[in-house]
A and B are shown apart, each in its own frame.
Chain A
């Protein structure tokens, strides 16, 4: 929104010495964000009045003319393309070397072979409006050779602030110059001249009373069920539609609105000043002498004044006449009721509408107008009356002959709501951390339109602050809001920083965070993997491509951006497969991991659970990366202090992280990581069939570890010292025969069960395949007694026990089978 400082000065006298930058900064720090500022009249002192004395066609261009202009102190020939460039007119002339807004400087340049000695300007080039229809025509009495600033003092030099609308979201009162000026008065500590004061209201009422002898030509019927929050209407006759005066056009332009005609301009001007939208009907289009406000009641189409046909829903509120809708309440009028050049009688409408309803309708229609964006902020119905009076005042200024017909029609007007907040300067000071005395407290609040009375309550509640109606619709509701009012006018930059008091409390990174960090670090340093992030949202297509058995149908979004990201992923696996496939296009071997979440759908109120998971992928060409990944997984769990059993899985074994029904699991390369008694992790090779549907060539091993429950466990370090061995042990190597596909872990486990007390450790020394196809497995067994040296007899007995245990388990010594 644009704010014209010239307009603001109708209500406040700003200190002379303020620079443009200071004004912008103080408003930014105290009220709302000024995104930029511009001097609209800056060009006026750079260009002079010139008279076109003759024109002739350009020798080489049909659409261009060569204009001879009288500059007062000489003549110049200028190339000009404007259609209205004719001899006799006076226009703004920019000499060579003039710099324009936007950084462009006029340099001597040939245009189609003819050197132009300067430029004749349109309004937009001077920053006066957006008009580029033709040259700006100056009054015939404008003195040639003078600057425009001297020649046309009424084209004042204005400072226009560009306000970020988002910073006004909570301030319904700042959407017009009248309300904004009050803030300027408070910020710059100058008096606010409220032109719409009680005296003025009385004078306007007296004028309206003159029409009361006649019957009101239009009456109101407002349905209480509609979105209306108050409706006022007044009929005025004797209107002549024409062009609005220069001062009004200039201010409209400064505020970013195009002047249209005197009636539309009055309507817009009043809105930009009071902040309250209005509608001026051509009264001849109001059928049946009646305005009816009601819900649309049924779906219907309606043509707005921009000529667009819109679909209205039953719940939208419409402003109608006796026969049908003439405007979408609070958003836009209809094509049929708008004012034309022939309009003589009008109906002024000023109404208020419920914020949420307007926002819903305008969002649905994709139609955000100057009116709707104001109503969305929850306007104050108590300001409707003065807003209507202001329209009337402006109409009378432009059409002195006009007259009010009938009495002011009013319907559904709400009573003002009193809101008084107990607080006091001491309380405010203690929240701001800066002393605010009673004088400052009162001055600031009164400048902003609040009422301050003292009360004798205790505990710092020394005052009552009454909130003006234009602030109490939504914005100000409690003491904290008063703190903001005082703080922002003092300036938060005037509060000295203070360190909070120290409280002594030791703090460590939580166990869950520590575990996550340790896992990430381990996977980088030991796993030599790169961390990636993939989207937690996936689509059914990806899950189906991965043949994933769970589609998370209950975790589908109502308003997904795309079917490819319409639901929460049930597992990291499909996302990682997709990332693997993508990276496989450019890399043959890689290792990646993600520390992310998948999401389980739950029954009933619980709805869902976020699962904290680690996913690791080792990708290789021909060599099988499975065992290397399994090593990393085993060491990771040990590093995290998580005791685990690692068990090979059969093809039909179910697993919470890789269901038996998922075909992506390799039939015999899959290890279940049983952490603290439950299957919370898995290492597996990707089944070539699923790899194929992702076009992943080579060999893929994946690991998933679910830390959801583990991360909330306190990390315990159970490490404790054991005396060093003082007595020598004994080593026993033996080779047993096993079936070709026997897991070594089973053989080691069998040996470990030997009935001897001196067995300390069993490891696999060597494996080779025999001619028979069977496997020969050489084990190294260590015997040791911590209390004494083993004698030959004990060793012999222990060796026999190991051999026996292995034989019993079906693993005979090699050579004795």
Chain B
């Protein structure tokens, strides 16, 4: 009887091996497991056996039945999968034909390189507690010159440097230093610190390294008992962040009417480490930013008592940083409006 059961299971497996359709599968189910199926017949014949035998055989039949039902479900599921996959084969998509490959696709989207670098600087300043301010491009004589201690006779006021409007009182700001004045007017009472990034305008002929419209970032920190030592510490921290490594700096005398003492800040050449190379013209230092202690006259014009408060200011040339970072060889690209330029900085 057990041999019979084994033979039945073998022929069941044989039948399953040849199944190709759901109908065939249903036939097999009826033939072996159905009410009138072969396993059912075997169950009936058990009646003739002894009670001990019946118990042993009954268990064997039930175990076989369970195993066959599981196998039947396995085959059914894989048959269904096969049929679905056949349908999927017809519904085929070219998964490599993405927008980046297509002529009609929008390939790149991204920010302008000046925006990228400006934001990065803004974030560094923000992390150091500097507010980010702005001011108008069209300024008056007071905010661009007088309030910054630049006297009537100063060469900067000449038509050679400054774009004047026909009323000869309004002008295009020649530096973001105007934001010093705007900032003091807005903040009123020290202590405060802020930077002002933006476009500035100079009446000069353009070439690969000169633009009539370019970008600067002005900074100012005003408080009590601010010293040159603070300025040096601050600039070192700032520049180490900008260049993402420790930098050596030095201050040397420089003349700007709105600071006194005024400095040119040099950074030790990052290419040669100060030994002297082409980039630093063998000097080992590269001139990077003008800075200094805010002139008392500037504080006065900003409504701040220079006997109570003092501080420092500095200016960064944004375009130069952008050009240095990306190796851009012509400043005129920045305002060119060309996609072929902008797309190179897209991500």
List residues of chain A with CB under 8 Å of any chain B CB. Answer: 28-33, 36, 167, 169-170, 355-356, 359, 363, 376, 430-434, 478-481, 483-484, 487-488, 492-493, 495-500, 503, 505, 507, 509-510, 512-513, 517, 520, 523-525, 527-537, 554-561, 565, 568, 575, 578-579, 582-583, 586-592, 594-595, 597, 599, 607-610
A-B contact pairs, 5 of them (CB 8 A): A32-B253, A481-B260, A483-B293, A498-B230, A500-B223
| Given A520-B115, A561-B203, A608-B170, residue A492 in contact with residue B334 (CB < 8 A) | no
Q: Pick the contact of B137 from A492, A493, A599 — CB < 8 Å?
A: A599
- Asked whether B18 is an interface residue with its Cβ less than 8 Å from the other chain, the reply is no
Q: Pick the contact of B335 from A169, A507, A534 — CB < 8 Å?
A: A534
A210 to B294, CA, bound (A): 54
- Please name all residues of chain B whose beta carbon is closer than 8 Å to the beta carbon of A483 when the two chains form the complex: 228, 260-261, 293
Residue contact A170 to B255, C-beta cutoff 8 Å = yes
Give the shortest distance, in Å, between B81 (CB) and chain A (any CB): 35
- Please name all residues of chain A whose beta carbon is closer than 8 Å to the beta carbon of B234 when the two chains form the complex: 499-500
Residue contact A559 to B164, C-beta cutoff 8 Å = yes
- Please name all residues of chain B whose beta carbon is closer than 8 Å to the beta carbon of A594 when the two chains form the complex: 337
* Mask: chain B, 248-267; 1 = CB below 8 Å from A; 0 = not: 00111111000011111000
B93-146 with Cβ < 8 A to chain A: 103-104, 106, 108-112, 114-115, 119, 122, 126, 129-134, 136-138, 140
| Given A363-B158, A610-B136, A610-B137, residue A484 in contact with residue B229 (CB < 8 A) | no
Residue contact B227 to A430, C-beta cutoff 8 Å = yes
- Please name all residues of chain B whose beta carbon is closer than 8 Å to the beta carbon of A433 when the two chains form the complex: 227-230
B134-169 with Cβ < 8 A to chain A: 134, 136-138, 140, 152-153, 155, 158-160, 163-168
| Given A430-B225, A535-B213, A599-B138, residue A560 in contact with residue B261 (CB < 8 A) | no
Residue contact A528 to B228, C-beta cutoff 8 Å = no
Residue contact A591 to B106, C-beta cutoff 8 Å = yes
Q: Pick the contact of A607 from B119, B132, B167 — CB < 8 Å?
A: B167
* Top-10 shortest CB links A-B: A433-B229, A433-B227, A484-B261, A579-B337, A497-B233, A356-B153, A480-B260, A492-B251, A498-B229, A170-B255
| Given A432-B228, A528-B109, residue A535 in contact with residue B335 (CB < 8 A) | yes
* Mask: chain B, 175-208; 1 = CB below 8 Å from A; 0 = not: 0000000000000000100000001010111100
Residue contact A558 to B166, C-beta cutoff 8 Å = yes
Residue contact A505 to B129, C-beta cutoff 8 Å = yes
Residue contact B342 to A531, C-beta cutoff 8 Å = yes
A32 to B254, CA, bound (A): 8
Residue contact B109 to A529, C-beta cutoff 8 Å = yes
- Please name all residues of chain A whose beta carbon is closer than 8 Å to the beta carbon of B61 when the two chains form the complex: none
Q: Pick the contact of A484 from B170, B204, B260, B335 — CB < 8 Å?
A: B260
Residue contact A509 to B170, C-beta cutoff 8 Å = no
Q: Which residue of B lies closest to A533 (CB)?
A: B335
Give the shortest distance, in Å, between A317 (CB) and chain B (any CB): 15
| Given A500-B226, A532-B337, residue A510 in contact with residue B260 (CB < 8 A) | no
- Please name all residues of chain A whose beta carbon is closer than 8 Å to the beta carbon of B293 when the two chains form the complex: 431, 480, 483
Q: 16 other contacts beyond A434-B229, A480-B293, A503-B223, with CB at 8 A cut-off?
A: A430-B227, A492-B250, A496-B229, A500-B223, A509-B122, A509-B132, A524-B110, A527-B109, A531-B112, A532-B337, A537-B212, A554-B166, A559-B163, A583-B338, A586-B339, A591-B106
Residue contact A492 to B158, C-beta cutoff 8 Å = no
Q: Which residue of A lies closest to B164 (CB)?
A: A558
Give the shortest distance, in Å, between B24 (CB) and chain A (any CB): 44
- Asked whether B54 is an interface residue with its Cβ less than 8 Å from the other chain, the reply is no
- Please name all residues of chain B whose beta carbon is closer than 8 Å to the beta carbon of A355 when the two chains form the complex: 153
Residue contact B111 to A531, C-beta cutoff 8 Å = yes
Residue contact B225 to A556, C-beta cutoff 8 Å = no
Give the shortest distance, in Å, between A506 (CB) and chain B (any CB): 9
Residue contact A484 to B253, C-beta cutoff 8 Å = yes
- Please name all residues of chain B whose beta carbon is closer than 8 Å to the beta carbon of A480 when the two chains form the complex: 260-261, 293, 295-296
Q: Which residue of A lies closest to B227 (CB)?
A: A433
* Mask: chain B, 68-105; 1 = CB below 8 Å from A; 0 = not: 00000000000000000000000000000000000110
List residues of chain B with CB under 8 Å of any chain A CB. Answer: 103-104, 106, 108-112, 114-115, 119, 122, 126, 129-134, 136-138, 140, 152-153, 155, 158-160, 163-168, 170, 172, 191, 199, 201, 203-206, 212-213, 221, 223, 225-230, 232-234, 236, 250-255, 260-264, 281, 293, 295-296, 310, 334-343, 346
- Please name all residues of chain B whose beta carbon is closer than 8 Å to the beta carbon of A33 when the two chains form the complex: 252, 264
B interface secondary structure, majority: mixed
A496 to B296, CA, bound (A): 24
Q: Pick the contact of B252 from A28, A495, A500, A523 — CB < 8 Å?
A: A28
Give the shortest distance, in Å, between B274 (CB) and chain A (any CB): 12
Residue contact B153 to A517, C-beta cutoff 8 Å = no
A524 to B345, CA, bound (A): 12
Give the shortest distance, in Å, between A532 (CB) and chain B (any CB): 5
Residue contact B261 to A487, C-beta cutoff 8 Å = yes
Residue contact B212 to A561, C-beta cutoff 8 Å = yes
A524 to B106, CA, bound (A): 11
Give the shortest distance, in Å, between B286 (CB) and chain A (any CB): 13
| Given A432-B228, A509-B132, residue A532 in contact with residue B342 (CB < 8 A) | yes
Q: Pick the contact of A493 from B166, B225, B251 — CB < 8 Å?
A: B251
A376 to B133, CA, bound (A): 36
Give the shortest distance, in Å, between A598 (CB) and chain B (any CB): 10
Q: Which residue of B lies closest to A525 (CB)?
A: B109
Residue contact A498 to B260, C-beta cutoff 8 Å = no
Give the shortest distance, in Å, between A565 (CB) and chain B (any CB): 7
- Please name all residues of chain B whose beta carbon is closer than 8 Å to the beta carbon of A575 when the two chains form the complex: 337
Q: Pick the contact of B227 from A376, A431, A531, A590 — CB < 8 Å?
A: A431
- Please name all residues of chain B whose beta carbon is closer than 8 Å to the beta carbon of A479 when the two chains form the complex: 296
Residue contact B230 to A499, C-beta cutoff 8 Å = yes
Q: Which residue of B lies closest to A587 (CB)?
A: B339
A726 to B228, CA, bound (A): 67
A788 to B111, CA, bound (A): 51
Give the shortest distance, in Å, between B151 (CB) and chain A (any CB): 9
Residue contact A610 to B138, C-beta cutoff 8 Å = yes
| Given A478-B260, A558-B166, A592-B339, residue A497 in contact with residue B232 (CB < 8 A) | yes
- Please name all residues of chain B whose beta carbon is closer than 8 Å to the beta carbon of A530 when the two chains form the complex: 108-110, 339, 342-343, 346
- Please name all residues of chain B whose beta carbon is closer than 8 Å to the beta carbon of A487 when the two chains form the complex: 228, 261
Residue contact A30 to B229, C-beta cutoff 8 Å = no
User: Among B114, B160, B168, B228, which residue has the most Cβ atoms of chain A within 10 A?
Assistant: B228
| Given A532-B112, A536-B213, A583-B339, residue A31 in contact with residue B253 (CB < 8 A) | yes
A535 to B338, CA, bound (A): 12
- Please name all residues of chain B whose beta carbon is closer than 8 Å to the beta carbon of A599 when the two chains form the complex: 137-138
Residue contact A534 to B337, C-beta cutoff 8 Å = yes
Give the shortest distance, in Å, between B70 (CB) and chain A (any CB): 41
Q: Which residue of A lies closest to B232 (CB)?
A: A497
A528 to B105, CA, bound (A): 10
Residue contact B111 to A520, C-beta cutoff 8 Å = yes
- Please name all residues of chain B whose beta carbon is closer than 8 Å to the beta carbon of A510 when the two chains form the complex: 131-133
- Please name all residues of chain A whose beta carbon is closer than 8 Å to the beta carbon of B339 when the two chains form the complex: 530, 532, 583, 586-587, 590, 592
A608 to B191, CA, bound (A): 32
Q: Which residue of B lies closest to A499 (CB)?
A: B233
- Please name all residues of chain B whose beta carbon is closer than 8 Å to the beta carbon of A498 when the two chains form the complex: 227, 229-230, 233
| Given A359-B155, A582-B337, residue A560 in contact with residue B163 (CB < 8 A) | yes
- Please name all residues of chain A whose beta carbon is closer than 8 Å to the beta carbon of B110 when the two chains form the complex: 524, 530-531
Q: Which residue of B lies closest to A553 (CB)?
A: B166
A555 to B111, CA, bound (A): 30
A29 to B339, CA, bound (A): 45
- Please name all residues of chain B whose beta carbon is closer than 8 Å to the beta carbon of A524 when the two chains form the complex: 109-111
